[in-house]
Structures are given as C-alpha cells and as structure tokens.
Structure 1
Amino acid sequence: MTNSQSPDVHGLFIDGREVAATRAELLDVINPATGELLAQISHASDADVDKAVRSAEAAFHSHEWASMSNRTRARLINKLADVFEANLDEMYQLETANNGRSLNETRAQISRLPDFFRYNAGLAIARRDSVIPVEGNYLNYTVRSPIGVVGNSTPFNHPLMIMVKSLAPTLASGCTTVVKPSEYTPLTTLRLAQLFSEAGLPPGCFNVITGLGPTTGKALAEHPGLAKWVLTGGTEAGRITGALAGSNFAHQTLELGGKTPVLVFDDFDVEQAVNYAAFGGFIGAGQTCICGSRQIVQDKVYDEFVERLAAKAKSIRIGNPADPSVQLGPVVSARQQKRVLDYIRIGLEEDKARLVAGGKVPIDPALQRGFFVEPTVFADVTPRMRIFQEEVFGPFVSVTRFSTEAEGLALANDSPFGLAGAIRTNDITRAHRVAARLKCGIVWINDHHRLDPASPWGGIKDSGIGRECGTESFDQHFETKSVMVRLDDAPFDWYKDTATQARLN
C-alpha cells in the first residue's frame, strides 16, 4: 500500500485542540478504492481515553456550558449547523475517499445532516417539564437535567451520519461527549470536531479519540465517567461493550446488526419492487444495518422478480467512488471484502441456492487494488440457509419465495434481528396489518432506507436497545427529578395521630 505523498498524521482531539497520544503507535487509514495509504491516526491509550473523558466532565460542569440558557445553546447549535453546511463539499470529498461510498450517495446523505442539529436545537427551546396531577393537596412537577458525558463509538459505514444522530441531541441537551470513530473511517469526525471548535463550541464538549475497538473502544465503554454509552456496530460488540458500560450503570443506546426482510406482494409493480430491492440492497455497497438483504417475494411474481433483479444488479456501474458516474464503490477494507466473498462461497455451497448475479471481484484491472465486490444475488434461498439468517454487510441479496401472507410474515420474522422491515403492496389494509405484525423497530411501506431527524430509529432483539432521532433520543439525555410540594398548612404529626392517619404514602 503506497502513497506518492507523505500521509497526513492525525493526533487526538481533546479539550478543543489536537493533541499527541501517549502511545507512539500509528494506525494506517486506507483508501478502499485504491488500496493507498490515505492518512495515519493515533492509537489512544487508556490514559488518553481518561484524559478525554475528564475533559468532557470538566466541560459539562463548567460555568460556560452548564449555565448556558436553552435559547443560547440553541443558537449555538444552529450556528454549528451553518458551519457544517458551509463545509459540506469538503466533507463529501473526504468521506468518499475514506469509506469508499460513491460521491453521489455521500452527497445525498451528508447534505441532510445539518438539519439534525437544527431539529435538536428546536427541541432545546421547546422542551417542557411536567406538572403531574396527584392525589391530595399537592403540587407535583418534574425537573430534567442533562445526564453528563456521553461516550459514542461509531462504525465505518456512515461515519458522519451515525455520529451526528448522537452528537446533535447530546450537545443540544447540554451533555458533552467523547467519540471514538471506526479506525477505518475517522477523518470526517476529526475534521468536524475542529470546525465546531473554531465555530465557538466550548473546549471539551466534543472530544475525539482514535484507536482500535478492543483497546481504545473498550477503555471508553468501561470508563466510570460516562453517563451514557452509545454504540452502532455488530451485535457481539454491543454485548461486550454494553456489559462494560452496564457495570457502571450507564444509560445505553445500542444500534446493532440487522437482516432486513422485504415482503413483496404480487399486487405491487415488479419493476418498482426491483428498483427498491437494488436501492435497499446495494446502496453503500450493502454496508448498512438496514440493508434490504432478504427479499421475500410472492409466488406469482417471483420468477419475474428474480430475473429483473439479476439484470439490474449486472447493470450497476462499479468503479472509483470519486467519479460522479459510478454507482457502486468498494467495501471498506480487505477484511470486509473477504467476509463478503466467504459468504458467497457459503451461498454456493448451500443446497439449492442459486447464484443469479455477481459473486466475484470485478475483473477490471483498474479495480484490483481496491476492495470491490460485484452486486450479488442468490435466488431460491430457504430460511435454514446461513445466507438467509446471517448478516453479510456487503452488496449481497437473497431472494425467497412465499405463497400466503401468513407464510411471508413467518419468513420475515424468522430472524434473531429486529431492526427494520419493508413491505411492497398496493393493498392499504394489508400494508398496515403486516406492518403491525413485523417484529422490528422500523418499517417502510413502498420505500426503503428513509430517515428523518424527527423519526425514532432503532431495533429490538439482537438489533439493540434504545432509539436515536426524534424526541425519544433527545429525552434520553436527561435525568428526571420529581418534586412533590405539600400545599396544605395544617399541622402534621404522624406519631401523635397515628391511629387516625389515612395513608402512609
């Protein structure tokens, strides 16, 4: 892996500035489209993690941040949104180079992110505490206060978007944070922290530490200074880090694996179903937790669907993601490429599964140094096959046949995961009926992969706990205190009048 120029070397971002790590070791950041060295980052030690958390704790309790009014904080969060928006072009280019997602996809995704800050700035102004009607002559009200330091471990597939889903409510609520981005894709997170600091975000409110999950990530998850732990990643990583954070009774939001079922009924236009299948299955090179990886298609349109999806997959333009004409870039690393190719081998070994598109590395010599995999489709997949049950996290879609609505629902719910599901039908009654019975946290009817700052996002079962986005996420950054005020001036002496007291509580 070579680079004609010396790569940029990045330190950690703590207390509003870049600082050197205590550990001399550097980690390589590779351009997944070319295999070239893009940059080097620090590998934060336990001492570095402690320094970052202490910086966030100091900022949380500082007069400048803790005494800031909701309206002043909202104005600052809106200013951060404006700064983000003014630097979008730089972010498009940097994220595309770093994670290999096509430039058009990256632009379409990142351009929405400033609105996450604006939405949460609105919640900061609009939030109200409650007055609760209770029995007796009492006034009962609640007071909410920010919980403290939020530790956030983000993945490689959507580095900025997933980080922003947590960062926006964290800052708007008055909390502070330490973010550990994936070692594969840290560059846009480091850059955003620098931009926000220059825009006036107080030092220590947004710290970034870089390093490996088993070392730096572990040290962050188990740090007793965290009030909340947020992770987007694999289910096993969620179990490990969730247990670590849980030992300190930290609040948690874990968005983990997925194996999204898509139910295609025979009353829906097949061409549109195929277009959505390609979008849901291959966007981001299939490296999304809500990838539409299980297409479950009704008998009458099954054969036509398979034929059209195979043709669609073969038509997708693969290449360097910096080229605006390219529709599919590489997966993020050699390790991820091997994982996808291993699942293709597994699919080929499964009894009766039929490969109808893709299944190999592109033959174009210009792509050989990158981590490319062709869009892959397996047909005639049954629920006991590994490629039906296990998350691949690549451009890999399986197609399974069903006859009745009940059978389709049973196939869709036959999974340890429960993040998202999708339905393709023109029968509005069936759409709502099936949506209610899908065992997952998100459902799209005649669409896929739609996200809004106001719409709660998260899963059940092995797909995690808690919700991002919406008022649900914002509210999870507060502790609630109940205040009970007695409004009766009558004398009280329990021990004088015990026998006549009406109630103890």
Structure 2
Amino acid sequence: MNALDKAAGRVEEHGNFVDGAEVEAGTGEMIDVCNPATGVVIARIPNSGPADVDRAMKSARAAFEGREWGGMDIRARARLVNRMADAFEANLDALYRLETLNNGRPVNETRAQLARLPDFFRYFAGLALARRDSVIPVEGPYLNYTLRKPIGVVANCTPFNHPLMIMCKSLAAVLASGCTTVVKPSEYTPLTTLKLAEIFSEAGLPKGVFNVVLGLGPTTGKHLAEHPDINKLVLTGGTEAGRIAGAAAARVFAHQTMELGGKTPVMVFDDFDVDQAVNYAAFGAFIGAGQTCVCASRHIVQASVYDEFVEKLAAKAKSIRIGDPFDPATQLGPVISAKQRDRVLSYAGIGNGEGARLVAGGVAATVPGNEGGYFVEPTVFADVSATMRIFQEEVFGPFTSVTRFETEEEALRLANDSPFGLAAAVRTRDVARAHRVAGAVKAGIVWINDHHRLDPASPWGGVGDSGIGREFGTESFDDHFEVKSVMLGTADRRDFDWYRDTAGQGRLN
C-alpha cells in the first residue's frame, strides 16, 4: 500500500458540492475511487441521479440570476477571479499531491502542470477587464452597437487524465464571463475537483457559482447533458461520448465545446536532429502515461533516418523509470484503471497480429511495493502501415507507432489519413516546409519542433472527430456570451409614415 494510502487511514465518503457546501446525494448508490498506483480504494462517491443534478442546476441558475453574482460589476468580478487564482496558488502543494494520489501521474508531472493553472484565471480576468462591445458602421443615419450578456449555466463533463487542468480551462472562462457551472468530474478522479470547489468557496466565491455532481458518465453525465436548463455544454472525452452528449444538448440548443478523441501524427523530416526528435517523441508519447488526446501516437519518419529513429526511440522507451508516482525519481506512473491497462495490452496483441514490429514494451510492468497498480511498459511498434488498427485507433496509453515515408506529400497523406484532427506536430529545420506542412495538415493545433504546449491565450480544439469549438483565448471567452445588436436611428424622422406614401419609399430594411 502506498504511504499516503496508509496515512489516509479510513476511506472517506464524499457527497456532491452544491450551493457552497458538500451535500449528500439522494440515490444511496456509491462508487469506489482507487489509487491507480496501488489499486487501493481511497474514497467513495455517489452515483448521482436526476434529482441530484437538478438540485445543482437550480443552485447554478439561482446564482446566475441573483444579485450577488449576476449583478456583480465587471471589475469586481475580475478582482474576485484573481483572488481565486491566489487561493489556488496558496493550496498548490495539497492539490498536486492529491491529484497524484487520485490519477497516478508522477508527482513531478502534476506539480509542473498544476503550477500553470492559476494563470488561466488571471488571463481570463484580464479579458473581462479588456472586453469591449462593438460599434458597427452601417448604412444610413443609424448607430449600431452590440451588447454581450453571459449565456447562463455551463455544464462541464471532465475526464480522468488531466482532472484539474481540463476543468480549469472551462472554469476560468466561466467565472470571468459571469456564467455559473455544474461540473461532473470523471468517476475515477473526482477528488481535486471537490477540493478546488471547497477552496474557492472559502476564498469568497458566491454560493451556487461552482457546483460539482459526482457519478458515472452514462448516468450522471447523461442527466447533466440532457438537462433542459443548460446553456452551454463543455465535454472532454471520447468521440462516441461526445456524439451522445452533444445530441442531448442540441435538443435545448445549448452552445457546445467538445474536445474529443485524437491520433496525433508527428512528421519527422531528415533535416532534424534524430536524438532531439527521439526526446520529443518520448515526451509526446509517454507523458501522463500516454493518456492524453494529443499523445504523439503516430510517428511518421523520413526513410533516410527511419532505422536510426526506431532504434533510439526503443532504447529511450526502455530507459524510462516506472515506479511509485510519489517517488521523485519516477518518470512513468500507472494508467488509470485495470480496464485501461487491459485495453492498452490488447492493442499490443493487435499490433503483433497485424504484423507490426514490437521494439519496446507491450507488457504490464510490476513495481515493487505497488503490485496492485496498473502499470504498462512504454510501448513502441515499428513498420506500421496506415491500414493497421494501431495506426488508426486511439489507444490512450503509453503506446506509439512508427511509419516510414519518402516525400513530404506522402508524409501529409499519412498524417491526414485519420478521422481525428485534434493535434499534429512537425520536426524540421526548413522554415518554409514547417509552415507549408502546418497549413496542410488537418488539425486544430500544430506544434513545430515541440509538443504538448498550451497557453491560455492560444485557442485549443480540434476538427473532424476530435470535436467542435475552442477552449482558451478570446474564442473561448466570447463563446460564453449571447450577442445583442442594438440599432438606434439618429435622424429626426418624426414625419415617418410608410403607409402615407408606400410607392415612394426607397428602403424597406
């Protein structure tokens, strides 16, 4: 058992967080939450039903329409959002340790990732202060301007792989725009979301602005997505889950932002240093145990450096230290569950059956002292063709493939041979080629000579089966408002009478 599991003593039971406090759910059905590094149960949460979701939605609606939050001045709200960033930062140590316990990412990863999140809130607080409505030049003696009003209640379904980071991408924009939210975190990783709701409440966030309902996707998530009072749905998850939730939300014409599946192609050209390309490949493929929609899962490598790249990537994968996530020396933690471990291993079997060449991993790993954990060795397949399932299907684990190409046109054809279009990457020192390929690849995000980089100012999202809408940037902020157009006639037209001389009127609209 992990030392923190022992320190926890008893298994805590949690309720939903509604109207500024933790409340008991009405269903009575509980779900075990495990530490994926040990398999030990660390908490139990409710599988919330329709009445629980409705209670949270009513709290969010009341806060949105109430004076304390809904009537708050923009500058006061921006100051409050900045205070939330400060509160987050003050609790960073507790949050990243809890996230490591709950989702198994090495402590160095969670510390580095969560340290970025306070700036998400500061960025959107800045947008709230800087926003301006438009004055639009129109024909004739008219003044036309726009007014933006917050859209209302945002339903947010978040995944297990980056619990706080992905939730905060939405939450920061929600708070800065004046909306309210009901969040359903993954049933695997609810603990840091609950903790942040408690921290923000204690820091002065009004009741009902940030609510949390706990439960399974097919039950609680479904109830939330189809609730008739949502104004916007934000979901990060699998493509099929997005189709189901999106169809439900469309029935009430809710705005939608969805980041769904991915199968990121990485095009490595022979003018790029192979050792550096391998280091980027390992980072892109194995950070977070490969459980990310932008995982570098398809390496498409030019023929002249292909063999060297495969050999060095295999050696790099075998050198990665697998271990207890709380050990600072650990470089790769477990996947989230036994089910996910078995899924990754099944794709190793599929790759072998398709005739690809396994050069690293493909088996479960055992960590002394953590024998119950869900560890998988970093896995690399070479000689992979575009027709193989391991080239086409998202694995969501420490698993990547390598495919050979000859020309730039072939690299792009292979990269674009996918229904997904979330992210792509290019490795080249040729500036013209870098921009040419970035423009031609089908993806919402492209990294040139880098991977996994994001910024709250840079729009994030995909095309095709990878989703719709954008998080981050002004694109995300603006999508939390309804735009009202106001038209004012400035001419003195007190004698206007359409029906006095209908035939002589020169303009209807």
Q: Settle same-fold status: TM greater than 0.5.
A: yes
Q: Distance in 2 between matches of 1:270 and 1:367?
A: 35
Shift of 1:365: 4.5
1:424-443 equivalences under 5 Å are 424-443=427-446
Q: Distance in 2 between matches of 1:66 and 1:372?
A: 47
- The one-letter code of the counterpart of 2:142 is Y
- The one-letter code of the counterpart of 1:397 is T
Is 1:454 aligned with 2:451? no
Partner of 2:192: 188
- Alpha-carbon contact 2:134-2:145 (below 8 Å) kept: yes
Query: Equivalent of 2:484, from 457, 481, 485?
Result: 481
Query: Equivalent of 1:402, from 402, 405, 414?
Result: 405
Is 1:370 aligned with 2:373? yes
Partner of 2:28: 24
Deviations 1:192-245 (A, max 9, x none): 000000011000000000000011000000001100000000000000000000
Query: Equivalent of 1:170, from 162, 168, 174?
Result: 174
Partner of 1:208: 212
Partner of 2:257: 253
Deviations 1:68-91 (A, max 9, x none): 111000000000000000000001
Q: Distance in 2 between matches of 1:297 and 1:148?
A: 47
Is 1:494 aligned with 2:498? yes
Q: Distance in 2 between matches of 1:168 and 1:365?
A: 40
Look up the SS of the partner of 1:484 in the other structure. strand
Deviations 1:59-117 (A, max 9, x none): 00001111111100000000000000000000110000000001001111000000000
Partner of 1:391: 394
Is 1:74 aligned with 2:78? yes
Partner of 1:49: 53
- The one-letter code of the counterpart of 1:465 is I
Look up the SS of the partner of 2:75 in the other structure. helix
Is 1:103 aligned with 2:130? no
Is 1:303 aligned with 2:303? no
Look up the SS of the partner of 1:128 in the other structure. coil
Q: Distance in 2 between matches of 1:492 and 1:421?
A: 59
Deviations 1:217-276 (A, max 9, x none): 000000011000000000000000000000110000010000000000000000000000
- The one-letter code of the counterpart of 2:488 is V
Structure 1 residues 364 and 488: alpha-carbon distance in aligned structure 2, compared to 1, 3 A threshold: closer
Q: Distance in 2 between matches of 1:18 and 1:161?
A: 22
- The one-letter code of the counterpart of 1:321 is P
Q: Distance in 1 between matches of 2:330 and 2:341?
A: 19
Partner of 2:69: 65
Shift of 1:302: 0.2
Partner of 1:40: 44
Partner of 2:423: 420
Is 1:466 aligned with 2:469? yes
Q: Distance in 2 between matches of 1:297 and 1:422?
A: 12
Q: What residue ranges of structure 2 are gaps of 5+ in the alignment?
A: none
- Alpha-carbon contact 2:154-2:180 (below 8 Å) kept: yes
Number of aligned residue pairs: give it.
504
Is 1:337 aligned with 2:341? yes
Partner of 1:381: 384
- Alpha-carbon contact 2:34-2:102 (below 8 Å) kept: yes
Is 1:271 aligned with 2:271? no
Look up the SS of the partner of 1:58 in the other structure. helix
Shift of 1:363: 4.1
TM-score by length of 1: 0.99
- The one-letter code of the counterpart of 1:236 is E
Q: Distance in 2 between matches of 1:180 and 1:86?
A: 24
Look up the SS of the partner of 2:500 in the other structure. coil
Look up the SS of the partner of 2:309 in the other structure. helix
Which stretch shifts more, 430-439 or 493-502? 493-502
Shift of 1:366: 3.4
- Alpha-carbon contact 2:324-2:367 (below 8 Å) kept: no
Look up the SS of the partner of 2:485 in the other structure. strand
1:282-297 equivalences under 5 Å are 282-297=286-301
Q: Distance in 1 between matches of 2:367 and 2:53?
A: 43
Q: Distance in 1 between matches of 2:295 and 2:198?
A: 32
Which stretch shifts more, 381-390 or 364-373? 364-373
Q: Distance in 2 between matches of 1:363 and 1:129?
A: 58
Shift of 1:495: 1.0
Q: Distance in 2 between matches of 1:334 and 1:485?
A: 63
- The one-letter code of the counterpart of 2:237 is G
Query: Equivalent of 1:346, from 335, 343, 350?
Result: 350
Shift of 1:330: 0.1
Partner of 1:230: 234
Point out 4+ residue stretches in structure 1 off by more than 4 angstroms.
1-4
1:143-154 equivalences under 5 Å are 143-154=147-158
Shift of 1:43: 1.5
Structure 1 residues 364 and 59: alpha-carbon distance in aligned structure 2, compared to 1, 3 A threshold: closer
TM-score by length of 2: 0.98
Q: Distance in 2 between matches of 1:177 and 1:500?
A: 54
Q: Distance in 1 between matches of 2:506 and 2:267?
A: 59
- Alpha-carbon contact 2:35-2:42 (below 8 Å) kept: yes
Look up the SS of the partner of 1:370 in the other structure. coil
Which stretch shifts more, 60-69 or 259-268? 60-69
